[in-house]
Amino acid sequence: MMEQSIFVAILMITGAYYWFARLPEWTYYAQRESYQSGGFYRHHFIRAITSDHGWQGVVSLVFLFAGLLNWWWMAIPAGFFMILHALYTGKVFRRKVWKVPLHWTARAWRLAITQGIVLVLEWMILCWWFPAGIMLAVWLSLWNVILALWLSWPLEWMIQHQFKHKAKTRLRELQVLHQLRVIGITGSYGKTSSKYILGSVLSAKFDVLFTPGSFNTPMGICRVINEQLSGHHEVFVAEMGARHRKDIQELVQLVEPSYGLITSVGPAHLETLGSLDNIAHTKFDLARGVSTEGIMVVNGDNIYCVKEAKTLSRDVLFYGFQAAQHLSAYAEQVCVEDRETAFTLVLVGDIKIRCKTRLLGRHNVQNIVGAALLARRMGLSPEELEQGIASIQPVEHRLQLIDPGTGILVIDDAFNSNPEGAAAALEVLSQFSSYRKWIVTPGMVELGSQSKEVHRAFGRQIAAVCDEVILVGKLNTQSLLAGLADAEFPVAQVHTFQSLGEAQKFLPSLLRAGDVVLFENDLPDHLEQ
């Protein structure tokens, strides 16, 4: 009996230490998946079970058989191994420089506490029923994360409901008392850039507040409304993201926009939305949510947008890159002049405005045209449009040209993760004809069953433009290599690295004056591994 008590004590001490050492890592991964159990399961649970967590399972089985066979002495070396493993993994997690670190928010703490409660309850049951199986509860700690996400959902729903109610009440008061105008922007890609562009253009006439960065979830938007929106603001621009079918509906019900802008429909988040038809229908929940008296602007160059717009029982305004009969706004005479883009903005009514912008790429010109069309309908004059467009600043990490003064140019497109945007970035890179052209990319994510095909095509596009290629990580490398091989790209000019940090260490030794480097997308930490 004494030996069994010692065995159980070793189990609990070892298990508790291991759990505490791994808790920040598991909480971080849950946070990066927006606390969605499905994403956590797909991206972390399966990988963990087949890698380092598998070793933990072996040790757990050693504990189990030691208890069943009364070989209590085996608990000591097995427990020692578990502690060493916990020390190592915890140290690796703490020392790694994460692109987006773990934020110990109130929700993160609630999830961590719920995980702890689940583990303690499992231990209490096992101590009474099957002491030798205690370590199995530790081995199943990743299941506990998923279970904790499920168990904490009702409380999180109530907290979110409270924040939403506060934000909706504030918005309605400002709309009634101060005639606040609310704009919703969504799209598979281009929505964040368009938000900044629209905010800059409208600022020529109005006092504008728009959601910062990639704040495009209900809680992110609620936070901006509750903490920043005030009576002096005349326009509020809300970016709306969607990973699941009802996401845009929820955001429309939250902010009740009078104006809407849909930038694109494409294979972003195909993994969770299932099909392009589902993506189109989800994005156009914004158009269905804007009142018929409001204004809805849609990308008329995107075939999926045009197709879905035909299903609406309301009018929309189309914009595009080049003249077409169905467009209310388009661009012409586009050219790159000394790292600036010049073009003529053409608006319905024979209004032509010659514009200059520091933004690069035809897709950015298209985004400007869409923003200008909406701004014109909101009352801006041609002079105000020209002024607003000239004031647009490059958005950080979105086709941002950086000249460090070393003779090497950097095009930072690290926050891009869609096929059309990647093609546009390569088009911009191709314009630097006198430079040796590099690309650093891990590929794209959430393309579902189309991922291999899309990345193979991307590899062929890279081969047509680039002189040197750096591929990062394992996720998409084989498909990209296949595309490069299709185009007979020289193998000696392809370099592969496990992580972006590793690639950046070697880059200085590879680059020279007269090079231009495109950083195309940057996988999140939890997907780069």
Query: For 312-343, what is each residue's pLDDT tens digit?
Result: 999 999 999 888 889 999 999 998 766 789 99
Q: What is the mean pLDDT of residues 377-382?
A: 96
- The CATH number assigned to the domain with range 179-390 reads 3.40.1190.10
Q: How far is CA 290 from CA 66, 111, 175, 184, in A?
A: 65, 36, 15, 9
pLDDT higher than 60, residue 73: no
Residues of the chain with CATH 3.40.1190.10: 179-390
Coil/strand/helix, residue 236: strand
Q: What is the mean pLDDT of residues 453-478?
A: 94
**What pLDDT score was predicted for residue 63?**
56
Q: How far is CA 126 from CA 134, 135, 146, in A?
A: 6, 10, 20
Q: What is the mean pLDDT of residues 103-129?
A: 84
Q: Are 254 and 236 in contact (CB under 8 A)?
A: no
Grade residue 210 by pLDDT with cuts at 50, 70 and 90.
very high
Q: Note the pLDDT tens digit of each residue in 415-435.
A: 877 888 899 899 999 989 889
State the Cα torsion 124-128-132-136 to the nearest 10°.
Answer: -30
Query: What whole-number percentage of the chain has pLDDT above 90?
Result: 54
Task: State the pairing for strand pair 181-186/235-239.
Answer: parallel
Question: With 0-12 CB in 10 A as exposed, 13-18 as middle and 19+ as buried, what is 58?
Answer: exposed
Question: 400-528 belongs to which CATH class?
Answer: alpha beta
Q: Which long-range contacts (CB under 8 A, 24 or more apart) does 300-306 make?
A: 300/324, 300/326, 300/327, 301/366, 302/264, 302/265, 302/266, 304/265, 304/266, 304/276, 304/279, 304/280, 305/262, 305/264, 305/265, 305/280
Q: Please state the pTM of the whole predicted model.
A: 0.79
More confident residue, 339 or 180: 180
Q: Where are the beta strands (DSSP E) in 62-211?
A: 181-186, 208-210
Alpha-carbon span 362 to 399, nearest angstrom: 11
Residues of the chain with CATH 3.90.190.20: 400-528
Alpha-carbon span 219 to 35, nearest angstrom: 12
**What pLDDT score was predicted for residue 140?**
67
